[in-house]
Structure 1
Amino acid sequence: MELFHFMHLFVIMLFQRGHKRYSNLSDLDLIQLYKQEENLFTIPLLYERYGHLVLGTCIKYLKRYEDAEDTTMKIFGELNQKIEKHTIQHFKSWLYQVTKNECLIYLRKQKTHQTPIHENLLQAENHETEELNERELKLTKLEQAIQHLKNEQRICIELFYLKDKSYQEISNELNIPLNTVKSSIQNGKRNLKIWMESHEE
């Protein structure tokens, strides 16, 4: 059996054994769960969510499917160690950067000197790193903006956008009217926009 397909089968097995409840956790909740308990299901579930994206990025850089497959397995095989060492705020962006770094390391090992192809890849890496840093900066600024909201607006925004809660679920959880939830989210969005615009560099 190919190693690449093992993770798929393992995730399916976990769900069949009744561990589907973990799939409702956010990326950051899964990471926190692993750091606290070294939970067995964290890495397979993250693979289930992002394995295809990692593989696609590896194919883009390495071209050969077999090399991309091996690198994908290496990334997820070492993910638990990296999770323990790093403070991660935005897992998807962080994993994307980890994947590109692994691809470039692989390419450097294949050649003792850079070819024009490698130079182009490095230029693409620098450009994409700048874009990633810009996205990270915007996300960090958004987090700061959320902290400046009124308490009720902040909680409703976090539950709705970060926890994927419905209006009704938020209403039940906070014991507030449904219309209050909707207005808090709308007002919170407007205040976030105002704060972000007033703090543009």
Structure 2
Amino acid sequence: MFRSKKNLKNKNDQQLLLDYLADGDLDVLGELFGRYMHLVYGVALKYLKNRDEAKDAVTQIFERLITEIPKFEILNFKSWLFVVTKNYCLMEIRREKANKNRFEKFSADQNMESTELLHPIDEDLNSSLQENLKHCLDRLKKEQQECVQLFYYQEKSYGDIADELNIAEKKVKSYIQNGKRNLKICLEQLEKEHEV
């Protein structure tokens, strides 16, 4: 349905929201989002502290609105958009932190059990160690592999993993402990093979 741009500008947020819900017209959503794009960018910049990432966030959030708006009863678009933006930024920060921390966390946990362990992490965390770790992960038993990946790569708690896999928390701890031990053995074997 064709609408003039002028007509869109004369409508309030709630009218635009209802129009968008009625026929999914992206021009209508663009008009509505455009009114608060500076707010989205400002919030993203405040949280992400990076202009390029904040610009990416604006694009990502607009794309997300296309599918998210129909799921919610939105009474105040501006407030709702602020919350969506804040949640998006917090998830991005958490994801970035998780990626940065997973190898550090893995080596720190290993260090509690042994002093000599994954020393390559301290030296040169290069692609060969990551490849070895992936190779060793692939060789773990299914339950150990799932628990280790959920714990270290997705930063989930024992309780969350137990719920997700529908097993007892005790089992989760056991699978993680045994998985770590098997990974350590596998990594040491691969290291010896490379030395030969």
Per the normalisation by structure 2, the TM-score is 0.47
Per the normalisation by structure 1, the TM-score is 0.46
